Structure 1
Amino acid sequence: MDTRLFEAARTGNIDYLQQLLAENPFILNNTQLSAENPLNIAAAMGHVDFVKEIIRLKPVFAIEVNQEGFSPMHIAADNGQVEIAKELMEVDIKLCRLEGRQKMTPFHHAAIRGRAEVISLMLSGCPDCIEDETERRETALHLAVRNNRFEAIKMLVDWIREMNKEYLLNMKDEQGNTVLHLASWKKQRRVIEIFLGSGSVSTGSLEVNAINHTGITALDVILLFPSEAGDREIVEILRSAGAMRARDSVPSTVTNSQTSTDNPSTPERCWSNRDNLVEYFKFKKDRDSPSEARGTLLVIAVLVATATFQVGVGPPGGVWQDTSIPDQKNITSNNTAHFAVNHNNIVINYVCFGSICTPTYKNAQKIFQGLHS
């Protein structure tokens, strides 16, 4: 792009643009060979009048997607430029559905950034944009929940219910997660209350017991990944709406025609999909904040340390302190004879200091020699 045209777009100087056109009537045509066009730059800077003039002169710029996967509408939606979005929709009402990289539309970007006014504008002009999915099969509602955009979530849910499109609440991403799964993972109590309404879910609306590809429900997400962020209240809200764990929501009897792989909640399927769950909850720079990642890692570290300590001080089944031989004189004793023996048949004594026991070995050398004689 001519640097002078770039400067005119950056500053929104229409007079300078006209001067450049007088000197070279084809200056706008030459920009088609560049990575950017002046409409993208003017949209990013918020120059509404300059955008109008470029659209009048070269409306084709409105539908161009640059190398980064952004069109002028993507930029306007991401920045919350409502007036510019209006002008662009005058060119083509479906520009809010224009796909960029990873099939991301301007409407998706508005949801990610929580641009409520832009969302309202696009829904009014092109309501079908709410059904568009990214490469990961995420809807705008998935993206709004994932990025904690409460006002955008409320607006989208209200619109969905007003238009009787509640099936959109049950749409699943590539991992089989509904928006309720994501809200549970993010500990978004207010969002969960919006999804569940009064607490009772009518048939055909929100599926509170939907199971993802890893074999867990929204309630499982809370119970499997506990924290101190109001988990008890969220669990109560979910249970009051009829939420169950996956193991309880699937009938225990399976017909002969069904295999274990047909049931998403079977242990075999959960195990085979464990890598998907790990991959899904991995830290992603463009999705998760470092503070949330640190908090989650801290919770996990505490849980692992607690579980390890409990196993150390109280092994499953207990331990024998020493070999026990009942008193021969007391035949009615309830105690039976036993020998503390490890897997190599080495007699073991436990020397205990408080709650910590250290094993010592009796006749270890003799037994070792006997095994190799």
Structure 2
Amino acid sequence: MDRLFRSAQRGDLEELHKLVEEQPLILHQVSIGGSENPLHYSCVSGHLDFTKALLGMKPEFAGDLNADGYSPLHLASANGDIETVKEIIRVDPSICRLQGKEGNTPLHTAVLRGKVDVICEMLENCEGCLQDVTFQKETALHLAVKSIQFGSLKVLLDWIRRKNSGEILNKKDEHGNTILHLAVWKKQRQVLDLLVENNPGSLEVNAINNSGLTALDLLLIFPSEAGDREIHEILQGAGALKAKDIAFHITTTSCSTRNTPVIDNSSNLIQYFKFHVGRDSPSDVRSTLLVIAVLVATATYQLGITPPGGTWQDNQGHIAGTSILGYHSRVSYVLLVAFNSLGLNISLYMIAILTSKFPLATDLRALLFSMYFTYNLSVSATSPENAKVFTIVITSILPTAVPLIGNLIRKYGGFNHLYGIFRRGHGN
């Protein structure tokens, strides 16, 4: 079997025929033995004659996905190997619509790599492939805009205009974004010009995404210095509006009309800025959590070593260096220490978790422990006698309690779920 794959990599036709003569069932054995076949190798290597021979002997190879989720046509499309693409399409044009990794078809792969000749060949032989979407409901147009492949987009738009298939321009991805939303988000003025000027009757400029935002809303919410004024002029010239300015009119069967409520843009913005799985990358979320944890740790640590109201400077009726607030109001001081220590310990715990696989993670944890230890010493030293025991106990228990409480909350689905259990337990 290894000889077969090596011959495919080299494009050795003589070796292929020799192997088939020696083992007539070798190609059949490959097709039932695994996901990868020799056609994948010959397409990657660009051996056209070898590819033709394989397709003649075993045309079913063209529809196989390898372990990475790519068919031979995906691989040929990525390489821009137009002759190989033509041979595979000649065997079965429908393979242009075969979904591979993340739902990408060979057309999607060609669009992402900017292989214009391949795109044209697929559109000519499999017109329906332009309607296919990925698992994220992205069309080839979405992918062209997202990957900044202007050449791919231009070919697709020319085809749409010639075939009068303008409805695809307004298809939405899983977040409700059209290609106009994406073009505005990425500040692609050239794309906007192409969309608005060449498709004035088909393009829906006021489409609203799942966050309740139009393309104009995105421009105004996320301003930059990169040609915003020109983009704003293009959108306004096309009749673009903000979501809150759009009124929908519904005509009933009795010919009466009524206006729907105006969209509450503030609530839409809140929904937009919430975390969305699939849209927000884990690395960005981790970075944001680290920033928040560091800010909280800084604020709580500072409050612990410099308590509100300061400390006594003499020993007249009190001990120098102890908290003035603790002397005058033991309850307020105890609550302050408890919640401030809780905040510090949670933030230190978050930092330790988020950096657990970082280089020098052990050194970082030693730094966090030093910070925790100096905080405890400072709080204990500034505590008045009537609160010192409590302070020492609470700052000693929290490091152990915080991970346990965190695991408990995650296990039972958060504070709302725990609150529901509490209420049911009390018969409410």
Aligned to 1:127: 127
- Which residue, 219, 222, 226 being the options, matches 2:216? 219
Indicate if the aligned counterparts of 1:214 and 1:265 stay in contact, CA closer than 8 A: no
Structure 1 residues 189 and 44: CA distance shift in structure 2, 3 A: same
Percentage identity across aligned positions? 43
The whole-number CA distance in structure 1 between the counterparts of 2:170 and 2:264 is 18
1:247 aligns with 2:232: no
The whole-number CA distance in structure 1 between the counterparts of 2:187 and 2:259 is 35
Aligned to 2:413: none
2:274 aligned counterpart, secondary structure: helix
Question: Offset of 1:17 from its aligned partner?
Answer: 1.0
- Which residue, 229, 233, 237 being the options, matches 1:236? 233
Q: Deviation digits for residues 141-189 of structure 1, max 9, x if unmatched?
A: 1111100000110111111111111111111111000000001111111
Aligned residue type for 1:189: R
1:151 aligns with 2:148: no
Aligned to 2:294: none
* Unaligned runs of at least 5 residues, structure 2: 251-255, 292-323, 333-428
TM-score, normalised by the number of residues in structure 2: 0.61
Aligned to 1:28: 27
1:16 aligns with 2:15: yes
Aligned residue type for 2:12: N
Aligned to 2:116: 116
Aligned residue type for 2:3: R
Question: Offset of 1:265 from its aligned partner?
Answer: 5.2
Aligned to 2:98: 98
Aligned to 1:201: 200
The whole-number CA distance in structure 1 between the counterparts of 2:162 and 2:47 is 35
Indicate if the aligned counterparts of 2:211 and 2:272 stay in contact, CA closer than 8 A: yes
The whole-number CA distance in structure 1 between the counterparts of 2:263 and 2:138 is 20
Structure 1 residues 216 and 194: CA distance shift in structure 2, 3 A: same
Question: Offset of 1:206 from its aligned partner?
Answer: 0.5
The whole-number CA distance in structure 2 between the counterparts of 1:63 and 1:280 is 28
Aligned to 2:39: 39
Indicate if the aligned counterparts of 1:250 and 1:265 stay in contact, CA closer than 8 A: no
Q: How many residues align?
A: 285
Aligned to 2:280: 282
More helix by share: 2
- CA RMSD for the aligned pairs? 3.0
Structure 1 residues 163 and 272: CA distance shift in structure 2, 3 A: same
Aligned to 1:267: 266
The whole-number CA distance in structure 2 between the counterparts of 1:250 and 1:65 is 48
Aligned to 1:3: 2
Structure 1 residues 157 and 266: CA distance shift in structure 2, 3 A: same
The whole-number CA distance in structure 1 between the counterparts of 2:204 and 2:188 is 17
The whole-number CA distance in structure 2 between the counterparts of 1:179 and 1:239 is 17
The whole-number CA distance in structure 2 between the counterparts of 1:160 and 1:66 is 32
The whole-number CA distance in structure 1 between the counterparts of 2:272 and 2:151 is 34
The whole-number CA distance in structure 1 between the counterparts of 2:177 and 2:196 is 16
Aligned residue type for 1:282: D
Structure 1 residues 259 and 279: CA distance shift in structure 2, 3 A: farther
Question: Offset of 1:250 from its aligned partner?
Answer: 3.4
* Unaligned runs of at least 5 residues, structure 1: 286-292, 302-363
Structure 1 residues 194 and 75: CA distance shift in structure 2, 3 A: same
Structure 1 residues 264 and 163: CA distance shift in structure 2, 3 A: farther
Indicate if the aligned counterparts of 1:170 and 1:179 stay in contact, CA closer than 8 A: yes
Indicate if the aligned counterparts of 2:107 and 2:122 stay in contact, CA closer than 8 A: yes
